[in-house]
Structures are given as C-alpha cells and as structure tokens.
Amino acid sequence: MKNKLKIFSGRANPPLALNIASVLDRSLGEISIKTFSDGEIWVKYEENIRGCDVFLIQSTNGPSENIIELALMIDAAVRASAGTVTVVIPYFGYGRQDRKDQPRVPISSRVIVDILSAMGANRIITMDLHSTQIQGFAKIPFDNLYSRKIFYSVIKNNNFNPEKTVVLAPDIGSAKMSQSYAKTLGMHFALIEKRRFAPNQAEVNHLIGNLDSLDVLIIDDMVDTAGTTVSAADAAIAKGANSVTVVATHGVLSGPAVQRLNESVIDKLIVTDTILIPEEKQIEKIETVSAAGLFAEAISRVHDGESLSALFEF
C-alpha cells in the first residue's frame, strides 16, 4: 500500500508551495513555525504524519534562518515517524561556494548538504544548481531540475524571430547552457569574456559574436546584484543590439540589483518564482513565471515511484 502524500511549506516562499499543492490538487499540511523574541525558531506539525511521504518546500536564500528552519522541519518530521522526508529546495542557497578556491575557506555547499542529510532527509530536489557538482556531495538521491522546460515556451510566446535573435552568454560559466538554448531555439550565439576581481564585481573584457541589429537574450541561472547582467546588456547595446531581454531562473535581486535593473538598458527580466520577490522589488521590468508545475510533477513522480528522467529531457 502506497504511503500518503503530505506537503508542507516553510516561510521562505509560501505562495510557490501553495501553487505546487494546487497543481497536485492538494492542500498544504498544517504546520506551526514561530520565531521567539531571541531569534530562535520553533516548529511543530499540527497533524499526524506517521508513515507518510512528506515533502518539505523551502528555498534556502538569505536570511540564513531559512536553512535552520528547514533543518528543524526535517528533524521534526523524522521524529514524528514520517515514512520518507523529501526536501524540495527551489533555490539552493550557498550554491556558489562549491569548491576550495583559496586557503582557509569552507566548501559551503557541502556543509548545507551535510546538514540536510544529517537531519534525516531521504532525498533533495532543487532547480538549476549554480554548479551541478554539488550533487556529488550527497549520499542521498539529489535531483536537479532544469528551468529550460519552462523558459522555452515563455521565450517562444514572446515572439522572438530566431533569425534576428542572439543568445548571449554573460560569462564563460553560462556558455554551455546558453549554447543549448541557442541550438534548441534556432538562434545565434555570442559570448562575453569577463574578469572577476571581487565577489559580485566583474568587468567585460571581450564580446565574441555579432550582435549588430539583433535582439539579445541573456540567459543565466540567477540575477543577484545584477552587476554582471547590466554590464552584459550595456556591452550588447554598444555592439549594436536592438534590445536586451534577460532570462534567469532565480531572482535573488540583492543589494542594488533593482535600482540597477530599473536604470539599465534591459527591456525585461524574466525569472521564476523559486525566490519570493518582495513587493518593493517588483518593478515593471520584472516578469515572473511559475515553476510550480515542474516541481509538482517531480513530487508526483517521486511519490508514485516513477522515474524523473522525463523531466531532464528538453
């Protein structure tokens, strides 16, 4: 007999969790989460989850309390005798610190995976990891979904003429993903070579490819402070591009990001709802599309014991 499916949400992004549950024609489970006056977090499941397949939805973007909250949710579920505990992390925080690139620094991605595993999680599901090697840190199943399945249709609906559109990779790291978009959509491809001289600070060195009189699509896994994105857009316009549209999975939008985007030559930024964008950051240039359908399908397949392979095909 199949275990009962129950879905719970942390406080990082309740609207996405509600949408995922709605796609699955279910209600979110009852859970109480409180923060005491000293900053400590308290968690309690308000319904029986013994023997259930429990899915916990929580992005681990800042503040870091989101990570602690998720760890406590996992521990509480394990102690309540859940059958399985799957953590659904739409945005995997600390994903950029995935290697020891200088002396005396942590491999933070590994730390996060170790916390989740140590608390008793049976599986991790996320989307567009900054580095796919993070999956190798886990001894439990770790599924990395691709937002391409969402964005291909969004881009087509925006009526880009493939012959007059170029996919511009904003740095070497995103070149492979950008080439995949260009090939699938039948568009041109160009690449920016940049030099990073500090965290969140980089400058454009070279732009390889023809952008003259073309519409530009910049593809990336996230927009954080938007410095790289805006610099790439400026370089594109300087090379004769007609317009610049940015497509990114995760709208981190920290620090001066919103102001930079508002004042930039970028026509539109399209992001998914993996991170809850507060109302004060929702400017006209930002368009949000939902990733709920893809996560819902992944949850359904895991619960039913079906393969996730179809979700990785594009």
DSSP-based three-state secondary structure for 158:
coil
**C-alpha distances in angstroms, 122 versus 77, 78, 143, 170, 207?**
11, 10, 12, 36, 44
Give the integer Cα–Cα distance in Å for 109 and 177.
Answer: 21
What is the β-pairing status of strands 188-198 and 165-169? parallel
List beta partners, residue 141. Answer: none
What tokens were used for 273? 């709802």
How large is the greatest C-alpha to C-alpha distance in the chain, in angstroms? Answer: 63
Give the integer Cα–Cα distance in Å for 275 and 289.
Answer: 11
Annotated catalytic residue, options 100, 164, 194, 268: 194
> Is residue 106 reached through a cis peptide bond, with omega within 30 degrees of 0 on the bond before it?
no
Is residue 164 part of the annotated active site? The answer reads no
Residues with a catalytic annotation lie at 194
